[in-house]
């Protein structure tokens, strides 16, 4: 009986309407998408070319020195950074590494620039939190491959759509953790700052954000890791980097080449993770 009833219910044209909406967005806002594609693409190429132009030995030494100091003057992370980066250079993947780092850097910075203000807005407004939370749920649960479709529709292929897909996928942790961190700030401290006549901006920047720093940095760390996890997926739409080598090895069933490129991504992930975690460490 139920099956017969369901047969009379017409199919909802979700796919068709989604395509129509995407086409409308692409046509209507082409004046916005085209400059973003051209300018952001040129900027990313400039960043990548600048990193590639720097002699690898200088970058390796700078990373090792930074690792030495952020780890509390311990040699473990510095030694790992030197050996890991040298291995990537030895396998002739240095240029791919720099392209990957540029992709992760730009997408992470944009995610933080967008995510922190939205998180602050959510912490200040229950209405905003109620509206934005389902959107964040959607962004985090939708398969990452799906983001490639509108990215290509809006920006074509290359680094820019890779940034767009990474941005959608990696921004939610920063938003959520910023909101959580500010909401967890002691009410007594907030009331004390108000009692001393602090303005809303002073209360936010001198009390709430400093007290929520640990939680916010944890969210930023997750954002960076998620941006890095999009490297291989973004390579499917033309984003250069180590992901391109992994994808090429997969298509040609070259186990060795794919393993070496994967090791390069792991090394970069560990170094970035340790650096971002150190920013959150108590001195």
What is the pLDDT confidence band of residue 282, given thresholds at 50, 70 and 90? low
Residue 208 within a domain:
yes
140: containing domain: 15-53+91-278
Q: How confident is the prediction for the chain on average, in pLDDT?
A: 84
CATH code of residue 187: 1.10.3720.10
Q: Bigger pLDDT: 197 or 49? A: 49
Written in H, E and C, the secondary structure of the chain is CHHHHHHCCCCCCHHHHHHHHHHHHHHHCHHHHHHHHHHHHHHHHHHHHHHHHCCHHHHHHHHHHHHHHHCCCCHHHHHHHHHHHHHHHHCCCHHHHHHHHHHHHHHHHHHHHHHHHHHHHHHHCHHHHHHHHHHHHHHHHCCHHHHHHHHHHHHCCCHHHHHHHHHHHHHHHHHHHHHHHHHCCCHHHHHHHHHCCCCHHHHHHHHHHHHCHHHHHHHHHHHHHHHHHCHHHHHHHCCCCHHHHHHHHHHHCCHHHHHHHHHHHHHHHHHHHHHHHHCCCCC
For the entire predicted model, the pTM comes to: 0.84
Report if residue 33 sits inside a domain.
yes
Residue 113 lies inside a defined structural domain of this protein: yes
Residue 3, domain member (yes or no): no
Per-residue pLDDT tens digits for 10-68:
677 777 877 787 788 778 877 777 788 788 878 888 888 898 899 999 999 999 998 88
64 belongs to a structural domain: no
Q: Phi and psi (nearest 5°) for 267?
A: -60, -45
pLDDT, tens digit, 9 for 90 and up, residues 159-188:
888 888 888 888 999 999 999 999 888 888
Integer Cα distance of 244 and 97 in angstroms: 11
pLDDT at 201: 80
- Is residue 29 domain-resident? yes
List the single range of 71-80, 117-126, 256-265 with lowest mean pLDDT. 71-80
pLDDT at residue 278, as a whole number: 78
For residues 259 and 152, the model is more confident at: 259
Residue 2 pLDDT class (50, 70, 90 cuts): low
CA angle in degrees (0–180, nearest 5) for 260-266-271 = 130
Q: What is the pLDDT of residue 114?
A: 93
Given this model, what pLDDT does residue 58 score?
Answer: 93
Cα–Cα distance between 247 and 245 in angstroms, integer?
5
Query: What is the distance between the alpha carbons of residues 82 and 174, in angstroms, rounded to a whole number?
Result: 30
In percent, the amount of the chain with pLDDT more than 90 equals 23
167-170 long-range Cβ contacts below 8 angstroms, 24+ apart: 167/107, 167/110, 167/111, 167/114, 168/139, 169/139, 169/144, 169/226, 169/227, 169/229, 169/230, 170/107, 170/108, 170/111, 170/223, 170/224, 170/226, 170/227, 170/230
Structural domains counted in the chain: 1
The pLDDT of residue 6:
56
The pLDDT assigned to 69 comes to 87
| 122 within a domain of the structure (yes/no) | yes
Residue-level pLDDT at 145? 76
Phi, psi at 184, each rounded to 5°:
-85, -5
In a domain, 9, yes or no: no
Q: What is the dihedral of CA 69, 173, 223, 36, to 10 degrees?
A: -130
Instruction: Give the pLDDT band (50/70/90) at residue 3.
Output: low
Report pLDDT digits (tens) over 88-137. 999 889 999 998 898 888 889 999 999 999 999 998 888 999 999 999 98
Residue 233 predicted with pLDDT over 70: yes
Look at residue 280 in the predicted model and tell me its pLDDT: 67
pLDDT value for 9: 60
């Amino acid at each position: 009986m139920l099956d017969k009833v369901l047969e009379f219910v017409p199919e909802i044209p979700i796919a068709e309407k989604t395509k129509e909406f995407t086409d409308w967005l692409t046509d209507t806002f082409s004046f916005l998408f085209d400059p973003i594609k051209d300018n952001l693409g040129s900027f990313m190429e400039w960043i990548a070319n600048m990193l590639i132009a720097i002699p690898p030995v200088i970058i390796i030494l700078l990373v090792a020195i930074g690792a030495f100091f952020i780890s509390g003057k311990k040699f473990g992370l510095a030694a790992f950074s030197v050996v890991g980066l040298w291995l990537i250079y030895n396998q002739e993947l240095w240029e791919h590494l720099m392209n990957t780092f540029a992709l992760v850097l730009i997408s992470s910075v944009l995610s933080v620039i967008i995510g922190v203000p939205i998180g602050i807005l959510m912490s200040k407004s229950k209405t905003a939190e109620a509206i934005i939370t389902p959107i964040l749920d959607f962004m985090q649960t939708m398969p990452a491959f799906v983001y490639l479709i509108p990215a290509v529709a809006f920006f074509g292929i290359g680094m820019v759509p890779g940034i767009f897909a990474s941005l959608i996928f990696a921004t939610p942790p920063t938003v959520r953790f910023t909101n959580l961190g500010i909401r967890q700030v002691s009410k007594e401290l907030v009331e004390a700052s108000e009692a001393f006549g602090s303005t809303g901006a002073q209360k936010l920047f001198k009390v709430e954000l400093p007290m929520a720093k640990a939680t916010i940095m944890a969210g930023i760390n997750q954002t960076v890791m998620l941006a890095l996890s999009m490297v291989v997926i973004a390579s499917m739409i033309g984003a250069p980097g180590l992901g391109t080598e992994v994808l090429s090895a997969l298509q040609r069933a070259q186990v060795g080449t794919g393993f070496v490129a994967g090791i390069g991504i792991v090394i970069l992930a560990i170094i970035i993770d340790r650096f971002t975690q150190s920013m959150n460490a108590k001195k």
